[in-house]
Amino acid sequence: MNLSLVPEKYDESFQPVIGAPVTMRPLRPDDLDIETAFVEGLSPETRSNRLLGGAIRITREYMERLTQVNYERDMALAATVMLDDRETLIGVARYALEKDGKSCEFALVIADAWQGRGIGHRMLGKLVAVAKTRGLETIYGDTLASNRPLIELAKKLGFAPQRHPDEAYLTRVVLKLA
């Protein structure tokens, strides 16, 4: 991927409730190593929540796909901190444009040690703002029905929880943008 296509206009820094300053920026292809370390460092519960119960196999090819973002249609934001003079990934928020060109599906995961500090709220809020500026009409996410923290976070940002149309063990949270 051409790095010149990564939209730097979305870069920002902020101070979470507790902890080191966070930089939020688009995920880049050269983030493969920190993305891999991030996913490998997630607790079994967080990994299960993010990967819908483990239905997705973590392979090098899968990790490469995560960092190869087509920013003309999709968005992936990375939250990083500097730890021991190294950039460390602590959160990822992304959406993928649906075939209709009017809606997108989001995913959000925050490293266990950084949960509960407002980072997920900030990242999902930014993702919603980007989707709005791009003229999308709806953003939604599917999560395990047991993932109360994500469902509550989504509700705070105006999403409405709904029954998933196909799977009883999932909840869909939906936000109309237009």
List residues bridging with 174 in a β-sheet: 140, 160
85-127 pLDDT per residue, tens: 999 999 999 999 999 999 999 999 999 999 999 999 999 999 9
CATH class given for the domain over 8-176: alpha beta
Is the Cβ–Cβ distance between 62 and 130 less than 8 Å?
A: no
Domains of the chain, by residue range, sit at 8-176
Residue 173: which of 73, 93, 116, 104 has the closest Cα? 104
Give residue 1's pLDDT band: very low, low, confident or very high (50, 70, 90): very low
User: Residue 92 is which amino acid?
Assistant: V
Give residue 3's pLDDT band: very low, low, confident or very high (50, 70, 90): very low
Residue 140 pLDDT > 90, yes or no? yes
155-174 pLDDT per residue, tens: 999 999 999 999 999 999 99
d(Cα 79, Cα 57) in Å, to the nearest integer? 23
4-54 pLDDT per residue, tens: 455 677 888 888 877 789 999 999 999 999 999 998 888 888 887 776 555
Q: Is the pTM of this model over 0.85?
A: yes
